[in-house]
Structure 1
Amino acid sequence: MLRARDAGRRPVMLAIAGDSAAGKTTLTKGLVECLGEDRMTAVCVDDYHRYDRKERVGKPFTALHPDCNHIDIMEQHLQLLSMGEPILKPVYDHATGELVRPELVTPKDFVIVEGLLPLHTRLARACFDITVYLDPPEPLRHSWKQQRDCGKRGYTPEQVQAELDRREPESAAYIRPQRRWADIVVRFAPVAGRVDPPGTPLSAELLLRPTIDHPDLAGVLAEAGPAGAETAMHLSLHRDDDGRPVDALHVHGYVQPNESEIVKKAIWERVGQRTGDGRLDPDALGRFGEGTSDPLAITQLLLLYHLLDADHRQAA
């Protein structure tokens, strides 16, 4: 049987959950391009839809509902991937809304699993080393969905809004509850109270829950020094949904690129300590559409650190 790694070594598994148009694919794409497709496998669990787009028209639920997805097969496949075994994965074509020919997926050193419901069940969650939930403000996510679905999938604005309204109860019931299971909660949004020029990258807030070991970010700030580091990024203590204190990392999109570069360099040095070679492409990070974003790049850098750290621990 095909295997991705030597016996005793399993792939490092990262889950990125979030609602439709929350930015999951953008976050994933940068990580895959940075590490390289020869080392990373990306899987979208939206491929496990039970019905195609036409079949869903007469159903009493949307694609967000677990009953509209083969959750049991998804769980089996996640278990196999986590053990380094290949799977024959279904494929859902978002452009046409059709279920098409399945594909053979062989896990490599790292596996990113992104989609609507990767953290829905306990069995699925148990397969991951690192879990992330993308939590943009709903008005912003709605705007992103309008842009994507109208620009790339042929919908009208009225159709997109109607579908958002139809999905909202299931989003509240099944998608947003996954937030509680994430090691890292990421929110890209403008900074409240600021009026920045058009085109200013969104800032990022990352809740760093103590369910995994995070890098010493206070050390990153100290190492970067006062020349821009404090304006590019800062840490604060935040109250999580359950009232418990949690570290919040704020990465500011409004600062000058040279200020963000100081922080990125300090994090890159820590990433470099977790890999024995130079097979990383830093220029792949922070890309979205036709633009770039330092908060996105720094978020991807932190996830890259966790992936390489988990791999390093396995090898130790």
Structure 2
Amino acid sequence: MTAKRPILLGIVGDSATGKTTMSSGIEQILGPDRVTNICSDDYHKYNRCQRKEKNICALDPDCNYIDIMEGHFEQLRRGEPILKPVYNHSTGDFDPPVYVHPKEFVIVEGLLGFASKRMRDAFDVKIYLDPQEELRVAWKVKRDTTKRGYSAEEVLASLKRREDVSANCIRPQRKFSDIVVNFYRPEGFKEETGTYLNTKLILRPTIKHPDFSEFIDQRPDRKKQCLTISLGRDEGSPVDILHITGNIQPVTAETLMDIIMDHLQGVEPLPTEGVGHYTEGTEAKNSYPLAITQLLTCYHLLSAKSMVG
């Protein structure tokens, strides 16, 4: 019997939107032995010094080998190995390429994964991370000052320089996603960056989502609901919008995760230990909205796998 081809997940978003946190949790749920995880930002044409000389931003498609990405994503979808470039964010230069053979699931995270139709067509599931901008800035400053050696002033200056490129090259990819993930602070929580963030999931009809309405509609007091689902429009098209509050109770979150799993027939239950975990500095924390988003993504990946002949 011919082996099924790998299932590809694309996770796209601007810098410091949580792409690695999202993909790491999904990999943990499915099992690292089943997942190949690559970063499309490795396909830069120029190192940091060359970009400065040429006055070109890493977010610009012209600064990246889009054609090689297209070919590599198609090869991975066919189950073929690739020789992937490696960009080192610490040195700003390139390390030797690595041989990558796709496993059952391939996660591709990065800035420009949906920049061309050929790339988009390679993915079975497409997610765009679109957190509240003030929140993204806080994440960016915290990450780049603690892990990449920059000062807060340097990070903020970099964000300002990149604003036009981000608006013109990164954010337009949002409309091509199946799910848009929007983390945002609750009203009055100006410093909150993690555990108690609310989440809005825009669910486009490009893929079939579980039906959450039966559980959600049974909540007696809508004003106190930590879960709501509504119809709306996004990018001019009708969508379902799932709202999850950061103060969702564990029993409610776990019930919703059970609902997601109940929609998967003939699949071994996924582990929920470690779901929704993230680090803030050196401190490990947990977010139920993040956990639900990661598990919903795994549901779609397993659904896609069941349909592949």
Normalised TM-score (structure 2): 0.92
Equivalent residue for 1:259? 252
Distance 1:72 1:42, change over 3 A: same
Equivalent residue for 1:281? 271
The one-letter code sitting in structure 2 at the alignment partner of 1:125 is R
The one-letter code sitting in structure 2 at the alignment partner of 1:287 is H
**Superposed counterparts of 1:1-40, under 5 Å:** 7=2, 9-40=4-35
Contact 2:87 2:93 in 1 (8 A): yes
Given the alignment of the two structures, is residue 239 of structure 1 paired with residue 230 of structure 2, yes or no?
no
Deviations 1:21-73 (A, max 9, x none): 00000000001011112111111100101111222111222100011111111
Contact 1:220 1:267 in 2 (8 A): no
Distance, in Å, in 2 between the alignment partners of 1:97 and 1:274 is 46
Distance, in Å, in 2 between the alignment partners of 1:129 and 1:255 is 30
Equivalent residue for 1:217? 212
Give the secondary-structure state (helix, strand or coil) at the position aligned to 2:33: coil
Equivalent residue for 1:131? 126
Pairing partner for 1:311 from 291, 299, 305: 305
Distance 1:50 1:43, change over 3 A: same
Distance 1:122 1:109, change over 3 A: same
Contact 1:16 1:118 in 2 (8 A): yes
The Cα shift of 1:288 comes to 0.8
The Cα shift of 1:194 comes to 5.2
Given the alignment of the two structures, is residue 46 of structure 1 paired with residue 36 of structure 2, yes or no?
no
Given the alignment of the two structures, is residue 147 of structure 1 paired with residue 147 of structure 2, yes or no?
no
Q: Which runs of 5+ in 2 are unaligned?
A: none
Distance 1:220 1:43, change over 3 A: farther
Given the alignment of the two structures, is residue 207 of structure 1 paired with residue 202 of structure 2, yes or no?
yes
The Cα shift of 1:196 comes to 9.0
Distance, in Å, in 1 between the alignment partners of 2:71 and 2:261 is 35
Deviations 1:149-193 (A, max 9, x none): 0010000111111111111111011100000100111101123x4
**Superposed counterparts of 1:151-162, under 5 Å:** 151-162=146-157
Distance, in Å, in 1 between the alignment partners of 2:182 and 2:297 is 14
Deviations 1:81-130 (A, max 9, x none): 01100000001112222210111111111111110000000110110111
Given the alignment of the two structures, is residue 268 of structure 1 paired with residue 261 of structure 2, yes or no?
yes
Distance, in Å, in 2 between the alignment partners of 1:112 and 1:250 is 25
Given the alignment of the two structures, is residue 86 of structure 1 paired with residue 81 of structure 2, yes or no?
yes
Equivalent residue for 1:72? 67
Normalised TM-score (structure 1): 0.90
Distance, in Å, in 2 between the alignment partners of 1:91 and 1:238 is 41
Contact 1:75 1:123 in 2 (8 A): yes
Superposed structure 1 runs of 4+ greater than 6 Å apart: 227-230
Deviations 1:252-288 (A, max 9, x none): 11233233222223223334x252x35x331121011
Contact 2:216 2:229 in 1 (8 A): no
Equivalent residue for 1:3? none
Sequence identity, in percent?
Answer: 48
Distance 1:196 1:62, change over 3 A: closer
Equivalent residue for 1:179? 174
Distance 1:250 1:85, change over 3 A: same
CA RMSD of aligned residues (A): 2.1
Aligned residues: 303
Distance 1:160 1:210, change over 3 A: same
Distance 1:231 1:194, change over 3 A: farther
Distance, in Å, in 1 between the alignment partners of 2:17 and 2:304 is 26
Given the alignment of the two structures, is residue 291 of structure 1 paired with residue 285 of structure 2, yes or no?
yes
Distance 1:311 1:219, change over 3 A: farther
